[in-house]
Chains A and B, each alone.
Chain A
Amino acid sequence: MIEVHRLVKRFGLKTVLRGLDFQVAQGEFVALLGPNGAGKTTFLRILASLSRPSLGEVRIAGYRLPEQAVAVRRRLGVVSHLPLLYGDLTAEENLHFYGRMYGVPGLEKRVAEVLELVGLSARRRDLVRTFSRGMQQRLAIGRAVLHDPEVVLFDEPHTGLDQDACTMLDAVLKEVAARGRTVVMTSHDLARAADLASRFDVLSRGQIRGSVRRGEIQPDELLGFYRQALAQD
């Protein structure tokens, strides 16, 4: 579903991603781990078609980025750490807007479905700027899956959330993943990632330094694996 070969990304003269290789099969839930500045957000932005690769090949659902970006975007849902929502509109209006941008058929019904999915039906008529961070994040996920994408990208979705909000978020994440969708999630939170993902990749200094499947190690060994991957040169 996602294929990345020798991806290089430069900002001016600085190279952030150095020949990165990455493959994700359909239905996998990959947690992308790594220290700050490793290039996780840059990588995710490239996958999200928001940023252009400097060199290398990126394919999502068979379509090439950046040439066939429009086709990719139709099948892609993205949640970043910024909510990407309009504070002065209600939850419903936000979803309506994005639904129209994506050309979602049967919009009314779909919006109601999604609000139900993320547990915000009761607050549909409230302005987003009155929402807590957790609620905004859940609505953001709703926005991301409104058009029923095959691939969903999450950039550190748990940032700024308290325990309860995290638990609610995880429930939604699992629900989203359950429909056979392909998910890539960057995270700092190893414990949560261990709970959600089916595969763990470590991104450090512009390349993937290690990859392991859920069944291959015990949950408490994940930290050790992570440290080891970082220690490699």
Chain B
Amino acid sequence: MEAKPRLLTVLDYITAALFLIAVGLVFLYAPLEAVMGNVQRVFYFHVAAGWVGMLSFLVAAIAGVAYLLRGNRKWDTVGLSAVEIGIVFAFINIVTGSIWARPIWNTWWTWDPRLTTATVMELIYIAYLMLRQGIEDPDRRARFGAVYAIVGFLSVPLTFYSARLFRTIHPVVIGTNDPNAQGQFNMTPKMLQTFMFSLLTFTFIFADLLWHRIRVGRLSEKVEQVRLKTLQ
């Protein structure tokens, strides 16, 4: 059996440390937002989780292309791992978005572009897993997964764009002059630092989880191989 790579253990420690620091920054370092109060702190994790959700999709799509072109099963494992992580973080994104929305806009849900796109992404992820689950042949399963990841990934920007042609009440934090956008706030330097650090932390979390999950995938394939050998 493969031993756990040293680098992975180091990554684990770094990620854990980053996370602790990030939490500290969010609750202690970042200033209290004037209008929204403490609930605004959710923002740091909300956006970071959304970022990881999108990053996962990108990785899954790239892995899909790589699998179709090369036929190497390891790309299939990468794609599946990315989707599984994406499902979790997209969900965190949606839930934290809801938590943030309730006190501010007095509603648990709005059909604005970003939230809509996040939900659609989550649904595509789930559909991906359901597709895989229904296919017996492992090679076909990998091929179909790759194709759907690519198709899904390409549809997301179009969904976002089409949802954005509708009006939005989602806070557009990163600079816009849209007068209809309510709930805006400007970020002070301390907030910006906390924000960037959260993004960094979550990226590390993504990489760490992805590596672990790929390892699990490879090990389970090894187990399957050994099992088949003993049967024959």
Q: Which residues of A contact B (CB under 8 A)?
A: 11-14
Residues of B within 8 A of A12 (CB): 137-139
The size bracket of the interface on B is under 10
Bound complex: CA of A14 vs CA of B137, how far in Å?
10
B34 at the interface (CB under 8 A from A): no
Q: How far is the CA of A171 from the CA of B139 in the complex (A)?
A: 40
Q: Name the A residues within 8 Å of B228 (CB-CB).
A: 13-14
Query: Is the CB–CB distance between B137 and A11 below 8 Å?
Result: yes
B123-139 vs A, CB cutoff 8 Å, 1 = contact: the mask equals 00000000000000111
Rounded to whole Å, the gap between the CB of B49 and the closest CB of chain A is 34
Interchain CA distance A14-B123 in the complex, whole Å: 32
In the complex the two chains form, what is the Cα distance from A211 to B139 in whole Å?
Answer: 32
Chain A residues whose CB sits within 8 angstroms of the CB of B137 once the complex forms: 11-12
Alpha-carbon distance between A96 and B221 when the two chains are bound, in angstroms? 47
12 residue pairs A–B, Cβ–Cβ below 8 Å = A11-B137, A11-B138, A11-B139, A12-B137, A12-B138, A12-B139, A13-B138, A13-B221, A13-B224, A13-B225, A13-B228, A14-B228
Known pairs A11-B138, A13-B138; list 10 more (Cβ under 8 Å): A11-B137, A11-B139, A12-B137, A12-B138, A12-B139, A13-B221, A13-B224, A13-B225, A13-B228, A14-B228
Measured between C-beta atoms, what is the minimum distance from A217 to chain B in Å?
31
Least CB distance from B143 to A in Å reads 11
**Whole-angstrom distance between the alpha carbons of A12 and B138 in the complex?**
5
Query: Least Cβ distance of A177 to chain B in Å?
Result: 34
Q: CA separation between A12 and B224, bound complex, in Å?
A: 10
